Structure 1
Amino acid sequence: MEGIAAHHPGYEASDVERWAAEPDKRPGRTAFQRDRARVLHSGALRRLAGKTQVVTPGVTGQLWDASPRTRLTHSLECAQVGRELGAALGCDPDLVEAACLSHDMGHPPFGHNGEQALNDFAKDCGGFEGNAQSLRLLTRLEPKRFVRGGPGGEPVSVGLNLTRAALDAATKYPWARGGHPTDPQSVKFGVYEDDLPVFDWVRQGAEPHRKCFEAQVMDWADDVAYSVHDFEDGLHAGHIDPNLLFSEPEREDIWRVAIGRYVPADTDPAELAEALDRLIDEEWWPHGYDGSAVAQARLKDATSQLIGRFCLAAEGATRERHGSGRLSRYGAELVVPRATRNECAVLKAVAVRYVMQREEQERLRADQRIILAELAEALTARAPSEGLDPQFRALFAAARDDRARKRVIVDQIASLTDAAALSLHARLTVRHR
């Protein structure tokens, strides 16, 4: 087992255990540095460069034509935010960064829209959820480490074989399908039934449903990164007019988006109005954004100010509750003030209202869902002889029943980039419109 005392202050020996024990090839490097390196060098992380973050790039007149944010750039930005916030609170920075880099690995082509399509297809084999798919990638699908544990002693993949603490830190929803602690109808979950053995190992000794401290830092870094950057890109592309944020009818639309989705259903709209007004009243707020070089510089400053504001508020509130010591694993809870959560929620709602709810985006998302549904049907009809990559072809052949074979098809589709999904669909189907 890897050393713990000097290299991993604040962590125990069980935190750096791996599902499959392996020697340390480079003495002096910490277990969490190895985790971070494995995620950085993984094919799953690279493929995020071709996966939609909010809207699909590359269409004339669409957001982010010139330099689109993808799942990869979002993950890199989330990792920078999470690493610094985690370090300020006493977490191992490499551990938090590894979690932030890997948290979106399981997202399929076309973003959350693709999630919906795959969840519909997989409803009779356990459903689909991007976070559960991330755990599946990290522990099973991403080729890195193998053990001889299959029938007959053949090699079986254990994914990246990250430490227990790294896998736990990447687990945003520590429960199975239908196991949400307060909302059994929630579509959010973090593990498929097939992956419960490794999930139970990861969660050894943890209170049910409770996220470890590093996962809470990752979750807040995720919220901060995408709320601020979606707002920034919406302004830059001209989809968000800052003057509209003073209009009462427009504001009411924003509150309707936020309430129940980003803030509790009983939230008073006046709270959200106060949150937006606090931001607008700041000297650095990008008033009168016109796309000029000076305006772009002011917008980037606003982005930095917002990230600092949200992170410092969480750091201060957490330190106020827990003191100045090192915080990690299950020794603390991240505290984010309600006012700060409302400010973050308002930015998310603005991006949804003016970017994602545009009519042309609604039409595009409908087409994308059709493409994935047809692709799933085509693969079901033709697998394993056509359409499956060699890795998934072998898994399909070894699957024990129709349910397991369907899960392999889901795994194959989820692994595709947007462009690869479109290409495979075109090759396997003849569409009549």
Structure 2
Amino acid sequence: MTSERDAQRRVTEVPKDTGHGRGPYQRDRARVLHSAGFRRLATKTQVHTAGTDDFLRTRLTHSLEVAQIAREMGSRLGCDPDVVDVAGLAHDLGHPPFGHNGEAALDVVAQPCGGFEGNAQTLRVLTRLEAKVLAPDGTSAGLNLTRASLDATCKYPWSREPGRRKFGVYADDAEVFAWLRRDAPDRARCLEAQVMDWADDVAYSVHDVEDGVHGGYVDLRPLLADADERAALCADVAAVYSPESAADLVEVLTDLLDDPALTPLTCYDGSHRAQVALKRTTSVLTGRFVAAAVTATQERSGTEPVRRYAADLVVPRWIRAQCALLKGIAWRYVMRRAGAERRYEQQRQLLTELVHVILAEAPATLDPVFAPLWRAAGDDSARLRVVVDQVASLTDPAAVSWHRRLAG
């Protein structure tokens, strides 16, 4: 069970509608669902640029799918279902326009104030930038979620370190990070965060391939016919997504391609029948990846309910490798397709220019939420962070519109 301390909020709130029966984590879930940052995910890129095809996923639909997978998996293990649901819904709130490509651009331009990372930005959105609760001193407490829900969103519970690309907290958010991590084992992730992270990997790998097949970018026939192409894919995956060697991944890929469940990925024509078959494939793969993790975890920790720091999620090596290969398929044939890098470079340039032009004329160029924060900032580093927060909050279309208006 979660404890009274897990349900604490950093800013004490006056209880309301106590007869309604909602628990603290149900309130957390509602706060995320009703937040402005969650709505903005509807026009933020997942893999394909948001708005280019009604079939394709955005950060919003991806977050809903992660939450559903995490809730089901967490419930089977004994986690509080609302806590893992909150983590799934909230995990991408810090992502900027243009997905990971935008994240890379902002990380470069934000180096003077500590860089940019989507997961660290998520913590900042939840605890500082969202408008819901004010602290006694008048500063924003963000959504003021419970300790357990905030901890469950922390994929990377550490600050930036040399040689480590991922991190979960900026230096100026260290105080709230210390509060939510009180008494937690150093650098350890709670079970709910591990469940959310695996649900994210499952949704990302399976659904991005589904979108790639529907968009005409992914066809497994070249992989079936060409050993060199299989080797090249496995080399990509070993370099980017998996600790396995390329040679070991070839064995996993061969097994995966022999699976009859993947047949719809070789003969997709967009018809209703083909869409049904494609959806069946995504369901089979999702169910397989979830069930394997649940079974392996229960074999190690027992079938009694577990949560928080009582157990770690166990994902079998073969299953993790299959998931990594699906990620690699989307990366190789969708994200690295012909012409993609030119568009990515344009997006990075747009965001970089937008930060510089806003910074040059701030606070006049900031919206009414961020302008007071810029005025209250104590130095150039803090002011740059405010500008980066502003740009990161924008949707893809809003970033283009702001750039057109401010930079010409």
- TM-score range relative to shorter protein: over 0.9
Distance 2:242 2:259 in 1: 23
Residue in 1 aligned with 2:295?
Answer: 316
Q: 2:70 is aligned with what amino acid?
A: G
- State the distance in 2 between where 1:24 and 1:230 align: 42
Cα deviations by residue, 1:160-205 (Å, 9 ceiling, x for unpaired): 0000000000000000011xxxxx4122100000100000011101
Q: Which residue of 2 aligns with 1:81?
A: 69
Which residue in 2 is equivalent to 1:3? Answer: none
Paired residue type of 1:83: R
- 1:364 maps to 343
Shift of 1:26: 2.7
1:213 aligns with 2:196: no
Post-superposition shift, 1:298? 0.7
- 2:272 matched to 1:293? yes
Deviates more, 1:112-121 or 1:22-31: 22-31
Question: Does residue 409 of structure 1 match 2:400?
Answer: no
Q: Distance in 2 between matches of 1:205 and 1:166?
A: 15
Partner of residue 43, structure 1 = 36
Per the alignment, residue 187 of structure 1 pairs with: 165
Q: Select the residue among 362, 378, 382 that pairs with 1:383.
A: 362
Query: Does 2:178 correspond to 1:200?
Result: yes
SS of the equivalent of 1:384 reads coil
Please, which moves more after superposition, 272-281 or 225-234?
272-281
Offset at 1:391? 0.7
Please state how far the C-alpha of 1:268 moved relative to its aligned partner: 2.9
CA offset digits 1:99-134 (Å, max 9, x no partner) = 010000000001111111111111011110000000
Partner of 2:370, secondary structure, is helix
* Counterparts of 1:334 and 1:229, CA distance in 2: 22
Distance 1:210 1:401 in 2: 33
- 1:55–1:361 CA contact under 8 A, matched in 2: no
Sort the Cα spacing of 1:48 and 1:57 in 2 relative to 1 into closer, same or farther, 3 A: closer
Aligned pairs (5 A) from 1:92-107: 92-107=80-95
* Residue 375 (structure 2) aligns with: 397
What's the TM-score once normalised by structure 2's chain length?
A: 0.97
2:55 alignment partner, one of 60, 67, 78: 67
Please give the alpha-carbon distance, in whole angstroms, between the structure 1 residues aligned to 2:239 and 2:38: 32
Deviations 1:197-233 (A, max 9, x none): 0000111011111101000000000000010000111
Matched, 1:349 2:328: yes
* Structure 1 gap segments, 5+ residues each: 1-9, 60-64, 150-154, 179-183
Give the structure 2 partner of residue 62 of structure 1. none
Letter in 2 for 1:84: E
Structure 1 contact 271–342 (Cα < 8 Å) conserved = no
Amino acid at match of 1:272: L
Gaps of 5+ in 2: none
Match of 2:240 among 261, 264, 282: 261
Alpha-carbon shift at residue 372 of structure 1 (Å)? 0.6
Who is 2:141 aligned against? 158
Higher share in helix: 2
Which letter does structure 1 place at the counterpart of 2:250? A
- What corresponds to 2:253 in structure 1? 276
Q: Give the aligned partner of residue 22 of structure 2.
A: 29
Q: Give the SS at the match of 1:72.
A: helix
* C-alpha separation in 1, matches of 2:214 and 2:136: 52
Conserved? CA contact 1:122–1:407, under 8 Å: yes
Match of 1:250 in 2: 229
Offset of residue 58 of structure 1: 4.4
- Partners of 1:147 and 1:46 in 2: CA distance: 24
Question: Equivalents in 1 of 2:246, 2:101: separation in Å?
Answer: 28
Alpha-carbon distance between aligned partners in 2 of 1:203 and 1:337, rounded to the nearest angstrom: 28
CA deviations 1:208-259 (Å, max 9, x no partner) are 1110100000000000001000011111111111211212121122112210
Separation (CA, whole Å) in 2 of partners of 1:88 and 1:202: 25
| Worse-superposed segment, 253-262 or 193-202 | 253-262
Give the letter aligned to residue 15 of structure 2: D
| Corresponding residue number in structure 1 for 2:151 | 168
2:285 to 282, 306, 322: 306
Give the Cα separation in 1 of the matches to 2:182 and 2:54: 46
Structure 1 CA distance for aligned equivalents of residues 218 and 68 of structure 2:
26
TM-score by length of 1: 0.91
Secondary structure in structure 1 of the residue aligned to 2:139: strand
Out of 127, 133, 153, which is 1:145 matched to?
133
CA deviation map 1:287-310 (0-9, x unaligned): 422322212111100000000000
What are the superposed Cα offsets for residues 33-74 of structure 1, whole Å, 9 maximum, x if unpaired?
A: 011010010000000111111131445xxxxx2322111010
3-state DSSP class of the match of 1:359?
Answer: coil
Structure 1 moving runs of 4+ over 6 Å: none
Could you tell me the percent identity over the aligned residues?
Answer: 56
Q: How well do the aligned residues superpose, as a CA RMSD in angstroms?
A: 1.1
- Equivalent-residue separation in structure 2 for 1:270 and 1:26 (angstroms): 59
The 2-side partners of 1:170 and 1:14 are apart by: 17
CA distance in 1 between counterparts of 2:197 and 2:361 reads: 39
Question: Is 278-287 or 138-147 further displaced after alignment?
Answer: 278-287
User: Mean alpha-carbon deviation: is it higher for 255-264 or for 213-222?
Assistant: 255-264
**Offset, 1:21:** 1.2
Q: Is the 8 A contact 2:63 2:88 kept in 1?
A: yes
